Structure 1
Amino acid sequence: MPTPTSAKRRIGVLLVNLGTPDSPQTPDVRRYLNEFLTDARVIDMPAAVRYPLFQGIVVPLRAPKSAKIYQQLWTERGSPLLYHGLDLQRLVQEKLGPEYVVAFGMRYQKPSIEKALEELRDAAVDRIIVLPLFPQYAAASTGSVQEKVMEIVGKWWVVPSISFISTFTDDPGFIASFATLGKAEMAKRDYDHVVFSYHGIPERHVLKGSFKGYCQLGKCCNTYNKNNRYCYRAQCFETSRLLAKELGLDEDQYTTSFQSRLQSRLRDPWLQPYTDEVLKGMPAKGIKNVLAFSPAFVADCLETTIEVGLEFKELFEQAGGEHWQLVPSLNATPQWADAVTDMIRRN
Structure 2
Amino acid sequence: MRDGTVLRRVEAATPAERDRGLDALRALAIGGVVLGHWLVTALVFDSGTVRAASPLRHLPELAPVSWVFQALAVFFLVGGWVGARGQAAAQARGEPYGRWLRDRTARLFRPVAAVVAVWAMAAGAMLAYGAGPESVRALVKLVLSPMWFLVVFAVLTAATPLARRLHPAVPLAVVACVDVARFGLGGPQWLGWVNVAAAWLVPYCLGAGCATRGVPARAAGWWLLTGGAAVTAGLVGWGGYPAAMVGVPGAAVSNLDPPTLAAVSFGLAQCGAALLLLGPLRRLMRRPAAWAGVALVNLSAMTVFLWHQTALIAVTALGLLAGGALPGLHTVPVDGGWVLARLAWVPVFGLALLGCCAAFGAYERRPDRKRQDAG
TM-score (normalised: structure 1) = 0.27
- Greater helix percent: which structure? 2
Higher relative contact order (CA 8 A, sep 6+): 2
- Greater strand percent: which structure? 1
TM-score (normalised: structure 2) = 0.25
